Amino acid sequence: MKKQTIIILIFLIPAFAVSLKAETGPAFAIIKCRIHPVVGAVVEDGCIVLRDGLIETLGPRTKVKVPADASVFDASGLFAYPGLIDALSSDFFSQPKEESEPSPNAGGLQRRIDDGKHPGLSAFENLKASKNTVKQRYKDGFTSILVAPQKGIFAGQSVLLNIYEKNFEQLVVKNPVALHVSFITASGVYPSSVMGTMALLRQSILDARHYSMHKSLYEKKGRNIKRPEYDPFLEKLVPYAVEGKRIFFNCQDLEDIKRALRLIKEYNINGVICGAVEAWRVAGMLKESGVPLIVSVGFTPPRTSKYALQGEKMKEKAEKEILPANPARLYKEGISFALTSYGLKKKSELKKNVKLAIEAGLPKEEAIRAWTIHPARYIGVESVLGSIEPGKIANIILVTEELFEKDCQIARVYVDGIAIEMEVKPKKTSEKKETKDRTPVRKQPVKENNQNV
Amino acid sequence: MKIKFLSVILALSMLSAVLSFGEETPVYTVIKGGTIIPVVGEKIPDGTIVIKDTLIHAVGLDVPAPEGAVIFDAKGKYVYPGMIDSSCVLGLQEISMVRSTVDYRETGRFNPQVKAVEAIWPESMHIPIARSNGITAVVLTPSGSFIGGQCGLIQLNGWIPNEMVVKESLAMMVSFPPLPRGRRGDQDRERPQTKKILEELKDIFEEARFYQKRKKASKENPALPPPDFDEKMENMLPVINGELPLYISVQSAADIKAAIELVKKEEIRAIFLGAHEAWKVAKEIKESGIPLVFGSLYELPVYWEDGYDALYRNPRVMHEAGILFAFSSESAASAKDLPYHAAKAAAFGLDKKEALKGVTINPARIFGVENLMGSLEKGKLANIVIADGDLLEFRTKIEKVFIAGKETDISTRYDELLKKYKKRYK
Amino acid sequence: MCKYFRLGLGIILLLLISLPSPGRDLLLKNGTVLPVTRGTLNHCDILILNGIIAKIGPNIEPPEGIKVVDASGKYIIPGIIDSHTHIALTGTNESSEPITPEIDMRDVLNADDPSIYTALTGGVTMVHTMHGSANPIGGENIVLKLKWGKSSEEMIVHEAFRTLKFALGENPKQANRMVMGEQRYPQSRMGVIAIIRREFLKAKDYLKDWERYNRLKTSKKFSSNIIPPRKDLGMEQLADMLRGKMLARCHTYRADETLEFLALSKEIGFKIACFEHVSEAFKIAKELAEDKIGISIFADSWAYKMEASEGIAYNAAFCIQKGVLVSINSDSWERIRRLFNEAAKSMKYGGLSENECLKLITYNPAVQLGVDKIVGSLEEGKHGDIAVFNEHPMSAYTRCDMTIIEGDIYFDRNEYLKEREEKTATKDKEKKDKGDTNED
């Protein structure tokens, strides 16, 4: 039992399936916890009622009536937060094997040709389960994750998942969420440079618009109009370049952010800027643009940045002080943003890096918003995720301390109203937690209904 | 050993003198009225130099011109010793990107048997250009990934290679790995490439000593079999015996320290080439007594922390530490720019006189030919440059160049092409 | 409320961006001023107000609170301009295709490139930073002021000509030999000129298509069934060439191919701003002078490839004497910091005066870039872009001590030395401290 393990209540799966049917199922109540709903005031000694995978109601225990049919969980001493959302990740994504032949001789090298143009590549269709990732994600407090393809200029389309071990179909919150675009080059063909990539992006947007105009005219009038040649690439692009669906721009260095801003402005794109570890350096522009921002907590300076080019000492300082201050500086400029683990060298650095960001001046409440309501907003699921509010999806975490406190551990995770018990390491120094009235971790998975206290 | 000394040249020129004049009287040439900068010794305003055949016969204020001497009036001009480029590939490379014109690099890692002087193309268009800028002798450095071959000293005048060669073998070229490109990396760590080279060198020295031991033993006792002839080992013998220095192209501070260790341990002689980071280990270099030759200063420092002028101030730091140094062009097409490297160092704090020494007497000392060249002193080869100003300045025009007492042609491919196309404009 | 606040801030920001960047005030005292467009001024002051040279003359009274730099014994010249570089960029060539006019180097500016600082240490204040020479038709170049530490947008010089890179000879025909496993066309000089012609003819058709469409659109017969032509960014660029809104900067070495391009420009009807490198310009100085086409060349860098094997050191001086507008460029991350050395070589090779040499890296490139009204010489009303040298800039012993752009000091050797000394001192102290603890 000393090993940190997660016990997943496997036989809750039937209940899970039931809850997805949107029929009225049993209610669960979490009582005696401190509720941080993110939207709305903190509730001491609160009660949250869940039903059908949704949050039915919440409030102080004195005011909320626990339904008669509810199974009650005593969460004394615990803190309830909405489950965290990672707004960009490649977890669970498995890049499909390329079908193209290796180039016989590209500059003397065997190089695989990839034109980087796969806007139709769906993350959802290329998901792969991973127990360890689920475990790691729960441990960090995540219940939802935006899974996006990463390779290529037009990398593909992302899906927002609730995190659970399997049955991806049941976990989809939104699909597709966005088209993901990177300022990288193709391999073996045009474009071989970032300026080429920019030209390609511009031309592709223009072409998609021309194509769409031609097509709609043809569909409307048919006769007397030359039939447009079917273009599978532009077909996939039209929703994003013409119809205003979101494009997430993956931005490494400062100039990438400006590139994205330029495209967003030039072509009136519904854009979101991701990565952006140097975002504070263009705070003015970002603020003026109002473009949503998803900021990485990976603090490695980009290759082209002055923080990577002016010696080892500078690089060290950048990693430890300068880049971690990015979120804090944005906050001080009045720019709101979501945080993402994307760009972290090691996933295990997440907690440490969030702590660095908070130490650099990012208020904890803002950090919480940046992992909950802000990403929900930018992904377009604010009405169902990102806070503990009636009617929203019951993605909740119960933690042992205030979130991002040093000893904070995840005690319980609710995904779509399903509880997952987590093992909590006893505190080394004090014994006071011993008195806490908390359901002990059981070897035997226990049905929520039976946990009457 | 296989070192051809000046005697050959002396004999040749004596012979030519005899042939052309049909008598055994020496040929005197006199340069008078100019300001003489002998480099060794004080400046002589309105001085006179007397050349007897190939050598400087006299230098001074009131030196009488021998009877029948050819006299050059250098009034208002400056008279310098010819410059020496301590590392270049003149005559070994014509057009760098045209492979068929490149002869300074041999394939393979270990080529002690190849000699730069055996590949000179006397017709190279770059030779007259360098000469017309006051360079009269150069050290040719072959280079490869490791042991590149033997460096030789040539003078920049002659119809055939033999007339140009002053010293067939001056040093054995060894190349340590170059500094990493880009601006990142751990500065002090010993790199695996360096380690490999050090191990290889150790093995080669061991093998060469064993080879010599067997050779000697069999010579003393004919009953013992001699080693099988090995051209590579044969050529390494002068190195292990301390007769031929290693010319070590080495850049990083860590590598320089490693090279010093090696030289000490193997009890051999050495000269460093390049030495970008010498300023970081001036003390160690000084203690080792190893002289060094700077590579082209027209490069950027690899590490941001070193400051933009790291290469430019390097010579000054070396001078202040009391280390013997010289400059080089490391080039063929830009060999003529040698004086400007020296001047660049002066712009960043090196005394102007010391900068001049770095292209004249210092290289002569480093390569053990200070009895032959490097200054305007009696008994040395008459390698003399008459200029209308400071030898290291861009605006200075070189008016006459004497090599081994002979006035040389200072017209170039530049002049030839310009003359040809000027006709188009008439 | 937040929305209005945001809007307001946006407006303020916009205003800040659109205003000419207000530089600092600065007074340089008692230097030897080499204005380039007129003779040397000894013991002379230069007053810069709001980034603009307000006054040049002796004994200028310092306005209150102004920063004063003592330039006694120093030489003051206009900031050096490099007419051909590839610095401050992320990427140089889009070499996957031979024809890439849609490329815009503005998209890949990198204000963090340390080469900007390198250039400043050599007195360079402005560069024409260009697409590489891998393609017969490359991309659009850009002119920057090297305001190290400022954003890339603030560096762009909007007054400069718009220029498109072309390349002839060895580079375009050898670039990226294999594309998709096939040899890239063109592989010969014949192909290079043919492909450029082809693209311009295509651009003419493209323009016609649009003209026809626009005519139809305004006519009464216009039917909504008519689809507008596809907008092609590459063709748009070439159309701008044909409209004279953009000028060619053409990489060429040999005389013959230079003349071929010149002929093509007349055949097609586009303008050439300048030829790059032109090792053999001295062979065709007559034609260049007649057509008033400048050249941006190396001082004496030659014989590194076949087509550069006749690039004699007299090239610059001879062409100047024949009336060609010549600038000396670096085309190098390293040479850029010693352009003044390169320019000085034309005194030896061709007998140019010190001032004529200085013009090769100041006034002449300014004319070539279309910015001679604002920079290139020291004159009242021009930008306060200045380099200060310890000795005459055409001496081999000279060193740049200070570089100023619009009154702001971007490089100061004294400051640099002070910082270095401090760093060494702390390092030594660290070492010593470590040593002490070791002894314990």
pLDDT at B209: 97
Give the C-alpha separation, C260 to C254, whole Å: 10
The closest of C173, C169, C199 to C99, measured between CA atoms, is C199
Query: Using beta carbons and an 8 Å cutoff, which residues of B are at the interface with A?
Result: 183-184, 186-187, 303-305
Partner residue facing A195 (CB), from C6, C139, C176: C139
CB contact under 8 A, B303 and A313: no
Average pLDDT, chain B: 92
pLDDT at C206: 98
Check if the beta carbon of residue A260 is closer than 8 Å to that of residue A238: no
* Interacting residues of B23 by C-beta distance below 8 A, sequence separation 6+: none
CB contact under 8 A, C102 and A258: no
B270-274 vs B246-250, strand pairing mode: parallel
| pLDDT over 90 (residue B2) | no
Check if the beta carbon of residue A113 is closer than 8 Å to that of residue A346: no
- φ/ψ of residue A308, rounded to 5: -105, -15
Alpha-carbon distance values, B299 to B223, B228, B296, C211 (Å): 58, 45, 7, 53
pLDDT tier at A431 (50, 70, 90 boundaries)? very low
Span A24-52, pLDDT tens digits: 788 999 999 999 999 999 999 999 999 99
Name the DSSP letter for residue A334. T
Residue of A nearest to B186 (CA): A312
ipTM of the complex: 0.92
CB contact under 8 A, B307 and C420: yes
Give the C-alpha separation, B138 to B154, whole Å: 6
Give the C-alpha separation, C274 to C325, whole Å: 9
Give the C-alpha separation, C250 to C261, whole Å: 8
pLDDT tier at A188 (50, 70, 90 boundaries)? confident
Check if the beta carbon of residue C331 is closer than 8 Å to that of residue C85: yes
Span B401-411, pLDDT tens digits: 999 999 999 99
pLDDT tier at B25 (50, 70, 90 boundaries)? confident
For C227-232, which contacts have Cβ atoms below 8 Å and span 24 or more sequence positions? Answer: C227/A213, C227/A214, C227/A217, C227/A225, C227/A226, C228/A210, C228/A213, C230/A206, C230/A207, C230/A210, C231/A206, C231/A210, C232/A203, C232/C102, C232/C206
CB contact under 8 A, A309 and B303: no
CB contact under 8 A, B183 and A312: no
Partners of residue C341 in chain B, C-beta under 8 Å: 340, 344, 394
* Interacting residues of B53 by C-beta distance below 8 A, sequence separation 6+: B13, B14, B17, B26, B27, B405
Span B360-377, pLDDT tens digits: 999 999 999 999 999 999
Chain A residues 285-314 within an 8 A CB cutoff of chain C = 285, 287-288, 290, 304-306, 309-310
Check if the beta carbon of residue A159 is closer than 8 Å to that of residue A147: yes
Q: What is the mean pLDDT of residues A124-151?
A: 95
Q: What is the mean pLDDT of residues A117-128?
A: 95
Residue of A nearest to B306 (CA): A311
pLDDT at A347: 87
Q: How many angstroms separate the CA of residue A309 from the nearest CA in chain B?
A: 7
Q: How many angstroms separate the CA of residue A277 from the nearest CA in chain B?
A: 20
Partners of residue C313 in chain B, C-beta under 8 Å: 414
Domains A6-82+386-450 and A86-99+110-379 share a fold: no
Residue of B nearest to C309 (CA): B95
- Give the SS3 label for residue C319: helix
CB contact under 8 A, C94 and A203: no
Q: Which of C141, C178, C223 to mutate to test the interface with A (most CBs of A within 10 A)?
A: C178
Partner residue facing C282 (CB), from B390, B413, B421: B421
Q: How many angstroms separate the CA of residue B306 from the nearest CA in chain A?
A: 9
pLDDT at C397: 98
CB contact under 8 A, C13 and A290: no
| pLDDT over 90 (residue A98) | no
Chain A residues 90-119 within an 8 A CB cutoff of chain C = 103-108, 113
Query: Using beta carbons and an 8 Å cutoff, which residues of A are at the interface with B?
Result: 308-315
CB contact under 8 A, B304 and A310: yes
Counting as low any pLDDT under 50, the low residues of chain C are 1, 10-11, 13-21, 437-440
Q: Pick the residue with more confidence: B200 or A425? A: B200
CB contact under 8 A, C314 and B418: yes
Give the C-alpha separation, B187 to B281, whole Å: 13
Average pLDDT, chain A: 87
Chain A residues 174-213 within an 8 A CB cutoff of chain C = 186, 188-196, 198-199, 202-203, 206-207, 210, 213
The closest of A208, B258, B71, B349 to C397, measured between CA atoms, is B349
Partners of residue B391 in chain C, C-beta under 8 Å: none
Give the C-alpha separation, B149 to B106, whole Å: 8
What domains can be seen in chain C, in order of their start residue?
Answer: 20-79+376-418 (2.30.40.10), 114-374 (3.20.20.140)
Span A310-353, pLDDT tens digits: 988 999 999 999 999 999 999 999 999 999 999 998 888 999 99
Span B256-284, pLDDT tens digits: 999 999 999 999 999 999 999 999 999 99
pLDDT at B16: 53
Partner residue facing B393 (CB), from C304, C308, C396: C396
* Percent residues over pLDDT 70 in chain A: 86
CB contact under 8 A, B300 and C313: no
Span A209-231, pLDDT tens digits: 999 999 999 998 877 888 999 99
pLDDT tier at A426 (50, 70, 90 boundaries)? confident
Q: Which of C7, C11, C87, C96 to mutate to test the interface with A (most CBs of A within 10 A)?
A: C96
* Percent residues over pLDDT 90 in chain A: 76
Q: Which of C108, C221, C236 to mutate to test the interface with A (most CBs of A within 10 A)?
A: C108
Give the C-alpha separation, B226 to B211, whole Å: 9
Return the CA Rg of chain C.
25
Q: Which of A306, A310, A312 to mutate to test the interface with B (most CBs of B within 10 A)?
A: A312
* Interacting residues of B324 by C-beta distance below 8 A, sequence separation 6+: B291, B292, B362, B365, B366
Alpha helix (H) residue ranges in C301-384: 315-321, 339-348, 354-359, 363-369
pLDDT tier at A187 (50, 70, 90 boundaries)? confident
Amino acid at B20: S
Partners of residue A259 in chain C, C-beta under 8 Å: 107
Give the C-alpha separation, C415 to C56, whole Å: 25
Check if the beta carbon of residue C322 is closer than 8 Å to that of residue C312: no
Partner residue facing A195 (CB), from C10, C94, C228: C94
CB contact under 8 A, C227 and A199: no
Partners of residue B183 in chain A, C-beta under 8 Å: 309, 311
CATH number of A86-99+110-379: 3.20.20.140
Token digits for A235? Answer: 């077909």
Q: How many angstroms separate the CA of residue C86 from the nearest CA in chain A?
A: 13
Partners of residue B348 in chain C, C-beta under 8 Å: 399
Q: How many angstroms separate the CA of residue B97 from the nearest CA in chain C?
A: 5
- Give the SS3 label for residue A103: strand
Q: What is the mean pLDDT of residues B136-153?
A: 94
pLDDT tier at A11 (50, 70, 90 boundaries)? very low
Partner residue facing B343 (CB), from C308, C333, C397: C397
Show me where the domains of chain A are located.
6-82+386-450, 86-99+110-379
Residue of B nearest to C348 (CA): B395
Q: How many angstroms separate the CA of residue C167 from the nearest CA in chain A?
A: 18
CB contact under 8 A, B305 and A309: no
Cis omega (within 30 of 0) for bond into B81:
no
Residue pairs between chains B and C whose CB atoms are closer than 8 Å: 100
CB contact under 8 A, C397 and B392: yes
* Percent residues over pLDDT 90 in chain B: 87
pLDDT tier at A107 (50, 70, 90 boundaries)? very low
**Residue C355 exposed, middle or buried by CB count within 10 Å (0-12, 13-18, 19+):** middle
Compute the half-sphere exposure of residue C365: CA atoms within 13 Å on the CB side of its CA.
30
pLDDT tier at B183 (50, 70, 90 boundaries)? very low
Name the DSSP letter for residue C281. G
Give the C-alpha separation, C193 to B61, whole Å: 65
Partner residue facing A192 (CB), from C96, C114, C225: C96
CATH number of A6-82+386-450: 2.30.40.10
Token digits for A83? Answer: 């489950």
User: Helices B253-266 & B192-220, crossing angle to 10 degrees?
Assistant: 10
- Give the SS3 label for residue A431: coil
The closest of C210, C163, C182 to C98, measured between CA atoms, is C182
Residue of B nearest to A314 (CA): B305
* Interacting residues of B60 by C-beta distance below 8 A, sequence separation 6+: B44, B47, B48
Alpha-carbon distance values, C314 to B12, C252, C289 (Å): 37, 18, 17
Please tell me which of A93-107, A156-170, B163-177 the model is most confident about, judged by mean pLDDT. B163-177
Partners of residue B187 in chain A, C-beta under 8 Å: 312
CB contact under 8 A, B96 and C303: yes
pLDDT at A16: 45
Amino acid at A415: V
